[in-house]
Amino acid sequence: HFSVAATLSEIDRLSQLAPIRVITLAPEVSGHLDIIRELSARGVRMQLGHTLGSYDDGVAALRHGASGFTHLFNAMTPLLHREPGMDDRVPTSAQVFQMATEYGAQTTGFAGLIGTLEPGKAADLVLMPWHHLAYPYLDPAVSVIDAVVHRGKVSGVETVLVAGAPVLRDGQIVRVAKA
């Protein structure tokens, strides 16, 4: 495993080339906790990943402002290792869903327009019939979010709305946006 320590000056230099919305850092690398605190205060979404850090390194980074994980199992210590690694704190289905929607939108620069369902934002929706999630059996105690995250498949998508307008209906493309 090989990690290069990031520096705030290097990140600032790179952000002059293009806006940086998300950064993944290994929290055990010297100086990275300070960078996590500074950049999360600036509104950059700080993720943990590509790390051999311990559980305690992960908790410290989350307390400094890290808010998610990238490449959760790349280079991390295994679950049965004597010293717990960060992969012992597996995100919940709700957290995974939020990473894919709200936090995904933040990485595009359109967070003010998409990513959550609220007044004034575009209604970007993917609709799947329940039977695509529940077949052949789904325990009634399983939440909708758990079912979508763990059982949702592209083949089950029947309708896609972008800004409230259908682009896919009954599995068929009905509209393509012009570039």
What DSSP string describes 92-140?
PHHHHHHHHTHHHHHTTT-TTTSSS--TTS---EEE--HHHHHSS---T
The 10s digit of each residue's pLDDT in 7-56 is 999 999 999 999 999 999 989 899 999 999 999 999 999 998 878 787 78
pLDDT at res. 107: 84
Question: What is the number of residues in the chain?
Answer: 179
Counting as low any pLDDT under 50, the low residues of the chain are: 1, 79-82
CB-based contact 70:24 (threshold 8 Å): yes
> How many whole angstroms separate alpha carbon 97 and alpha carbon 109?
19
**Alpha helices in the chain, H assignment, sequence order:** 8-17, 32-41, 55-63, 93-100, 102-106, 130-134, 144-151
pTM for the whole thing? 0.52
pLDDT at res. 82: 46
CB-based contact 69:61 (threshold 8 Å): no
> How many whole angstroms separate alpha carbon 53 and alpha carbon 49?
9
